[in-house]
Structure 1
Amino acid sequence: MSEIEANTGLVGFSVKQACDLLGITENYIRRMEDEFGFTVDRALRGTVMNRVYTTEKIFEIQHLRRERGQLAGLRKPITLSVYVKKGGSAKTSVACNLAVHLQLRGLRVCIIDNDPQGDATSMLGYDPDRTPEELIEEGFSPDLAVKGHFGNLLVPSSGRFQQLNLEEIIKKPYGEYGPHLIPAEESIEDLGPALSAQMHSDLRYGLFIEKSRKGLYQHCDLSKYDVIIFDNNPAGTPLSRNALVASDMLVCPIRFDKFSFRALTRLSEWLQEFEDTTGRCPELVAVPTMYVRNRPVMQRKLAQVQEKFPDNVVAEQLHHSADYLKSLDDNVLLAFYQSKTPANSTQAMREVCLEIYERIVRISEAKEK
Structure 2
Amino acid sequence: MGCAMTLRSTYSDPSGLQYRLRAASALLGITDNTTKRYLEESNIQVRRANDDGTKSVAVRLFDPDTLFQIAQWRREKNLLKTPQNGPYVITVDIVKGGTGKTTTAAEITLHLQLAGLRVLAIDLDVQANLTQYMGYEADLTEKDLASYGLNLDAIVGQTFAHVVCPFLNRAPGESVGSLIKMPFGKNGPHLIAADANLGDIEFALSTAKGSREMALDKLLNLAKTGQLPGFDTSKYDVIVFDCPPNVSMTSTAALAAADIVVAPVRLDAFAVKGLSRVIEELKLLRETYKDAIHSELVILATHFAAQLSRIQRMNQALQQYEKQVAPVSISVSEEFPKSLERYIPMSLQKPLSQASNEYKLFTDHLIKRLIAIEEKRSQPDQKGAPS
> What is the TM-score when the length of structure 2 is the normalising length?
0.87
Distance 2:158 2:10 in 1: 19
Distance 1:325 1:153 in 2: 31
Match of 2:3 in 1: none
Shift of residue 3 of structure 1?
A: 5.3
Indicate whether 1:145 and 2:151 are aligned. Answer: no
Q: CA deviation at 1:242?
A: 1.1
Deviation at 1:161, TM superposition (A): 9.4
Query: What is residue 229 of structure 1 aligned with on the other side?
Result: 240
Contact 1:120 1:231 in 2 (8 A): yes
- Shifted more, 344-353 versus 287-296: the winner is 344-353
Show the counterpart of 1:282.
Answer: 295
Give the gaps of 5 or more residues in structure 1: none
Candidates 19, 24, 27, aligned match of 1:21: 27
Whether 1:249 aligns to 2:260 is: yes
Residues 28 and 287 of structure 1: is their aligned pair in 2 closer, same or farther, counting only changes over 3 Å?
A: closer
Asked whether the 8 Å contact 1:334–1:349 carries over to 2, the reply is no
CA 1:250 to 1:10, structure 2 compared with 1: closer, same or farther past 3 Å?
farther
Q: 1:273, CA displacement in angstroms?
A: 2.0
Q: 1:335 deviation in Å?
A: 2.1
Task: Tell me which residue corresponds to 1:114.
Answer: 124
Paired with 2:82 and 2:298, the residues of 1 have a C-alpha distance of: 21
RMSD: 2.4
The SS at the match of 1:154 is helix
Contact 1:335/1:350, CA 8 A, preserved across alignment: no
Query: Which runs of 5 or more structure 2 residues have no equivalent in the other structure?
Result: 1-5, 380-387
Give the Cα–Cα distance (whole angstroms) in 1 for the partners of residues 222 and 179 of structure 2. 19
**What displacement does 1:141 show?**
3.5
Give the match for residue 47 of structure 1: 56
**1:73 Cα offset (Å):** 2.9
**What CA deviation, in whole Å up to 9, does each residue of 1:181-233 have, x standing for no partner?**
01111111012121222221111111010011011123111011111110010
Q: Tell me the residue number matched to 1:268.
A: 279
Task: Give the structure 2 partner of residue 73 of structure 1.
Answer: 82
* Matched residue, 1:366: 376
SS at match of 1:254: strand
From the superposition, tell whether residues 141 and 71 of structure 1 become closer, same or farther in structure 2 (CA, over 3 Å).
Answer: same
Q: Does 1:351 align with 2:366?
A: no
| Contact 1:108/1:224 (8 A) holds in 2 | yes
How many residues are aligned here?
A: 366
Aligned residue number for residue 38 of structure 1: 44
Aligned-residue offset at 1:277: 1.9
For 1:340 and 1:216, locate their aligned partners in 2 and report how far apart those are by CA, in whole Å. Answer: 42
Alignment map for 1:258-337 (pairs within 5 Å): 258-279=269-290, 280-306=293-319, 308-337=320-349
Deviates more, 1:161-170 or 1:94-103: 161-170
| Matching of residue 193 in structure 1 with residue 193 in structure 2 | no
Contact 1:152 1:161 in 2 (8 A): no
**So what's the TM-score if we normalise by structure 1?**
0.91
Give the drift of 1:325: 4.1
Residue 126 of structure 1 is matched in structure 2 by 136
Distance in 2 separating the partners of 1:154 and 1:339: 36
Amino acid paired to 1:127: E
1:55-100 deviation line (CA, Å, top 9, x unaligned): 1111011111212222243133211110001111111100010011
- Residues 136 and 343 in structure 2, CA contact (< 8 A), matched pair in contact too: no
Over 3 Å counting, the alpha-carbon distance change for 1:67 and 1:158 in structure 2 is same
